[in-house]
Amino acid sequence: MIHVRTKIDRPPADVVAALGEFSAATIHEAQGRKGALAHRLKPVDPAMSFCGPAFTAEAQAGDNIMVQVAISYARAGDVVIVAGGEFEQAGSFGDVLATACKSKGLAAFVTDSGVRDSADLRTLGFPVFSGSVCIEGTVKETLGHVNTSIAVGGQVVRPGDILRGDADGIVVVDPSEAEEVVLACRRREDHETLIREQHRRGDRTLIEVHGLTEKLKAKGLVVEE
Ligand SMILES: O=C([O-])CC(=O)C(=O)O
Ligand SMILES: [Mg+2]
């Protein structure tokens, strides 16, 4: 039985870079409100953000041997993402492993389990997203798989899927849809730029600017003035 697949199809770098110009929330909206990982998966520091192909691993709850194996085989630009049984009571990754990730040029580390050494992780600046922050360590015993489809934060993540993370959380994008999603993100940004300009001008009400007048009327909104 093969545990580790090292060869994955990575999306073109220019597509990853283009997606990385947009926020996770914009991408989520632009691709039809799908792909958002559970909101509890958050960066150790809100300033952390990333975009890159998923290099997936499954780890037994409270065991980080496969985390270490995955990091060893991941390449520069990859996002190592670990399904760790949503086990919150363990720091399965910390500043030592983050130092290894950073020196390999990985894009980020994501786990649905916990991480530790959070102050040092913030100082290092390598993007780390997790389900919890926890003092307790892990054992290094049980084998699992690297680069199979995994379920993390309620989403299926396949090796090579594009992950975008920022202060709001993480969204997964199917590489076959990525170019279309980039165009949809641009359209959405252009539209929001116009809306913001109108708010700055301040000569119409928010209800008018957001095109809610007719809808609120149809619903029978009553306002006492
Ligand atoms: O000890 C571990 O396996 C995790 C950790 O704290 C580190 O990477 O610094
Ligand atoms: Mg440590």
Q: Percentage of the chain surpassing pLDDT 70?
A: 100
CB distance 93 to ligand 1 below 6 Å: yes
Residue 2: pLDDT band by 50, 70, 90 thresholds? confident
State the Cα–Cα distance between residues 217 and 62, nearest whole angstrom.
55
Q: What's the complex ipTM?
A: 0.98
Neighbours of 179 (CB within 10 A): 15
State the Cα–Cα distance between residues 175 and 161, nearest whole angstrom.
6
Q: What pLDDT is stored for residue 39 in this prediction?
A: 98
Mutate to test the pocket of ligand 1, among 68, 80, 92, 116 (most ligand atoms within 8 A of CB): 116
Ligand nearest the Cα of residue 137 is: 1
Q: Any idea which residue has 């509890």 for tokens?
A: 40
Q: What are residue 177's phi and psi, to 5 degrees?
A: -105, -5
pLDDT digits (tens, 9 = 90+) for 108-119: 999 999 999 999
Taking the CA of residue 68 as reference, the ligand 1 atom at the shortest distance is 3
CB distance 146 to ligand 1 below 6 Å: no
Residue 116 near residue 128, CB atoms below 8 Å: no
pLDDT digits (tens, 9 = 90+) for 59-104: 999 999 999 999 999 999 999 999 999 999 999 999 999 999 999 9
Q: Which of 31, 36, 200 is nearest to 129 (CA)?
A: 36
For ligand 1, atom 7: residue with the closest CA: 94
CB distance 95 to ligand 1 below 6 Å: yes
What is the 3 state secondary structure string of the chain? Answer: CCCECCCCCCCCHHHHHHHCCCCHHHHHHHCCCCCECCCCCEECCCCCCEEEEEEEEECCCCECHHHHHHHHHCCCCCEEEEECCCCCCCECCCHHHHHHHHHHCCCEEEEEEEECCHHHHHHHCCCEEEEEECCCCCECCCCCCECCCEEECCEEECCCCEEEEECCEEEEECHHHHHHHHHHHHHHHHHHHHHHHHHHHCCCCHHHHCCCHHHHHHHCCCCCC
CB distance 116 to ligand 1 below 6 Å: yes
